[in-house]
Structure 1
Amino acid sequence: MQERRYRILVTGYAISSYGTFLNVVALSLYVYAVTDRALAVGVFMAVRLAAGFVAGLAAAAVLARWTAKGVMFWANVAQAAALLLLVLAPDGFRTGTLFAVSAVVGASGTLFMVTLRSSIPDMVGEGRHTWANSLMVSGRSMAMVAGFASSGVVVSLLGYTAAFLVDMATFLVCALTVLLLPMPMSPARSDDESGDEKDGQGSQGEESDGGQDREARRRRVPAALVALGAVPVLGLMVALRGIDALGSSSHNAALPVYSTELDADNPAVFVSVFWCVWALGNVLVQQVLQRYTKRTGRSVGALGFGLGTIAMSGTFILAFAGLPWAATVVVALLAGAADGLTEVSYTSHLQTLPSPLRTHAFGLSATVENLGFGVGMIVVAAALDVFTPLSVVGVAHGAAIVLALVYVARVLRGRGAQEAQEAVPGSEEREGKKGKGESGAGPARGGHRDGAEVSGG
């Protein structure tokens, strides 16, 4: 493509991400303004996360029936249509429409992300996964800062309707960039489905074949999950991602509380500065990762994901430790860099899976992440009423550090076993015959083994 078309798609994704983060603030405020109940805001977020949870489970089945381009296009159109419906809804239907919008946005957003991540290997050339993922993460990080920073201005000066229309426009822009992809929009039809049947007997045969196809698809789902379970440390990797999401919920919920404790008159200052510096660290590490991959032909791999998670969780804990401003800025920069490292290494590693398993892996990952973040928001909100932000964040991210240490140990043990096997005379020839068509972990596929290889065949 092809890189030019991918850059256009990432630009559209960044624009829609801006609208998404703008609406995180605008919709939450609007729910409270319409219902005048804080509980409604929590229910609104719960509906959104629940819809994302279900969409993650269904993503593989959806992509088995429709093309990636079609799913990404209609996911954006659905979100734009939901926001338009909210703008046009009469006053008496606003509350019900809000929760419908929450479900549509949660499900469509998850389907889009699962499809985008699992389709990147088909969009860019061999060895370009890290570059593609870094570009995507950089665009989202900058969009997040812009969305959060401008939300207050947009809502206060232009109103809720303008904010929703801006968000609707961003999704339509993203849908337009999806249309530019050189990929089929409609699923290919088999020869048996290419036209009407000539007689009733042919029609019965068609119906029988369709039933067999559906049965085959149902059998493929558990088979795919079994195959995923056989991939070294993949289950532990996804579990760590879920605990990491729980940790993310803790610092997202605790930041406003901690910022208010620091400066009750201007609580937004600390939050704004922290996220801006975090985004800067995230963008800077993407540049480092791209140069590292280009120079060495390797990716940071599964080990980088584990070490990055440890660094990220540690720095987020330090952010609430009451350090001086200068030290906190450095901590925020390192937290953003570590967050960017884990995102790219995790996504790139899963992208080395064969295409059918890749979709299941990203769908499962989205489900686990939504579950971790949703449960975390409920638990953390209750804990912050009793404990200090440092205690709450320390426990949540401490759990991620413990699991990450176990994960790193497993990866290093796997790497040691592989090196010992390769040291045996004749093992390379046997491995070459046995694993012809297989590839090492990491998008660069440069022959570097990290103890968590994923079969590419």
Structure 2
Amino acid sequence: MGNGVSAYGSYLNMVALNVFIYEVTDSALAAGLFMAVRLMTSVVSGFVSGRLVSAYDRKRLMVGADLTQCLAMVALLIAPEAGRAGLLYVLAVVTGFCSTLSGVALRSSIPEIVGSELRVRANSLLATGRSLAMIAGFASAGLVVAQFGYVAAISLDAASFAVSASVLMALPIRTKAAGPEEGEPGGGKPEEGEPGGEKTARRRQAGSLLLLRAAPVLAVMIAVRAADGLGSSSHNVALPVYSSALDPAHPATFVSQFWATWAIGNIVMQQICGRWAGRGGRQGPGERAFAIGACVMSAAFIVVFAGLPTGVAVAAALVAGMADGLTEIAYVSRLQAAPDAQRGRLFGLSASVENTGFGLGMLVSGALLDHFRPLHVVGLLHGVAIVLCLAMFVVLVRYGRRERPPADAARERDVPSSVESEAR
């Protein structure tokens, strides 16, 4: 609930702040620069967040991130009008860093909060909450700003972060695995000046790299997510252009239909995955389901822009939403199967890679749409994701991977022993 409330505030302000920036600066370039600064901060902070969540208490990091964003919103509200323009870019850095840190910390903590066997159900609940928050945030942003103004929208965002922080502080949750004895990999922090401290840090870092080398499918999955970000940016940029061409008098109609239908499909699939995993100890979607879902998702997005009747395009949006929900659950749950000592760095790397793909895709899509039709641009960038998914199938076949039973996922916690020994 706390995560859903803070997500609602974030989606609300994603609309309200962009309009607010344009009103304060009277410059489209300034609004674009705000988004660029926030995205670049998210890319860089992914690597930093991975280190932080591996070294410090994740619950405190999440609470600190929420409170920092709350205070940043309050500072914007009480700042004099003359100083708001500059403060907006500080806000972009703060929200970009804190949102990434909070996301990496939460995803890394799920197996410890609910147990490895329940992580798929937990991920489906969190993803459903974020999807509902996105619908509510986007739908209410225009109404809140029009009826109550920007102060009310920014205040709602600040309050949402305060609620999230309060919920986290109230819950007696454990967010990190119980470490081995002092001086062992993943164990307690050695005393200052102790040689083992530097050695342990090197072991952890090397262990993360060796884990990716030892699990090439995991590395390919991260690459596919980067390509998904590339493709996602293409349909985000192309949607307004395509919708305007469909109905110049009502350019927002198709965009609204698309996102509403996509969200429905996304939520339905997330619930299906959660319920399926909760029956009879089933593991939930695995690596092959992720590859199939990513292929179907990209293909469905391409169909949306193919110029077919509206009913067919909306149906394709529904399929894309369902496939997107499947890949999200499968991907996050697979990364959470990694040992706790490496999990934070994996999610940090994933956040940076995904944001890099999305940001690069925004630039490429914007440039290509000046010269090519939306179908060609979306087909090209989502086609990259399809090619990588096919490469992932090759890797799966080559290494004889199978979707593992829950016992194998639990045994993966013991991987650090071999990884650390090789690192040493």
TM-score by structure 2 length? 0.89
Give distance in 1, aligned partners of 2:176 and 2:383: 46
* Residue equivalent to 1:250: 234
Alignment of 1:418-457 (within 5 A): 441=404, 445=406, 455-457=412-414
| Equivalent residue for 1:327, pick from 304, 312, 324 | 312
Query: Is the 1:44–1:99 Cα contact (8 Å) retained in structure 2?
Result: yes
Matched, 1:389 2:374: yes
Query: Is the 2:72–2:91 Cα contact (8 Å) retained in structure 1?
Result: yes
In structure 2, the CA distance between the partners of 1:38 and 1:215, relative to structure 1 (3 Å rule), is farther
| Equivalent residue for 1:299, pick from 284, 304, 307 | 284
Alignment of 1:67-86 (within 5 A): 67-86=57-76
**How far off its partner does 1:226 sit?**
2.8
Matched, 1:114 2:104: yes
Fraction of identical pairs, as percent = 45
What secondary structure does 2:23 align onto? helix
Query: Is the 1:55–1:110 Cα contact (8 Å) retained in structure 2?
Result: yes
**How far off its partner does 1:229 sit?**
2.4
Give distance in 1, aligned partners of 2:138 and 2:395: 38
Alignment of 1:23-422 (within 5 A): 23-183=13-173, 207-209=192-194, 213-214=197-198, 216-218=200-202, 220-295=204-279, 297-415=282-400
**How far off its partner does 1:206 sit?**
5.8
Give distance in 2, aligned partners of 1:40 and 1:305: 38
Query: Is the 1:141–1:283 Cα contact (8 Å) retained in structure 2?
Result: yes
Give distance in 1, aligned partners of 2:363 and 2:339: 36
**How far off its partner does 1:357 sit?**
1.0
Query: Is the 2:63–2:169 Cα contact (8 Å) retained in structure 1?
Result: yes
What secondary structure does 1:18 align onto? helix
**How far off its partner does 1:264 sit?**
2.1
- For 2:71, give the aligned amino acid: A
Query: Is the 2:112–2:177 Cα contact (8 Å) retained in structure 1?
Result: no
Give distance in 1, aligned partners of 2:53 and 2:62: 10
Deviations 1:271-302 (A, max 9, x none): 12211111111111122212322345132211
Deviates more, 1:386-395 or 1:115-124: 386-395
Query: Is the 1:83–1:164 Cα contact (8 Å) retained in structure 2?
Result: yes
Structure 1 unpaired stretches of 5+ = 1-10, 193-204, 419-439
Query: Is the 2:70–2:161 Cα contact (8 Å) retained in structure 1?
Result: yes
What secondary structure does 2:394 align onto? helix
User: How many residues in Structure 1 have an aligned counterpart in Structure 2?
Assistant: 406
Give distance in 1, aligned partners of 2:119 and 2:269: 15
Give distance in 1, aligned partners of 2:79 and 2:363: 30
- Runs of 4+ more than 4 Å apart: 184-188
Deviations 1:129-166 (A, max 9, x none): 11111111111111111111111111222111111111
Give distance in 1, aligned partners of 2:263 and 2:144: 21
Query: Is the 1:317–1:390 Cα contact (8 Å) retained in structure 2?
Result: yes
Query: Is the 1:22–1:147 Cα contact (8 Å) retained in structure 2?
Result: yes
What secondary structure does 1:92 align onto? helix
TM-score by structure 1 length? 0.83
Give distance in 2, aligned partners of 1:145 and 1:258: 21
- For 2:169, give the aligned amino acid: L
What secondary structure does 1:299 align onto? coil
* Residue equivalent to 1:196: none
Give distance in 2, aligned partners of 1:186 and 1:216: 17
In structure 2, the CA distance between the partners of 1:185 and 1:309, relative to structure 1 (3 Å rule), is closer
**How far off its partner does 1:214 sit?**
5.0
**How far off its partner does 1:185 sit?**
9.3
Query: Is the 1:228–1:357 Cα contact (8 Å) retained in structure 2?
Result: no
Give distance in 1, aligned partners of 2:375 and 2:192: 61
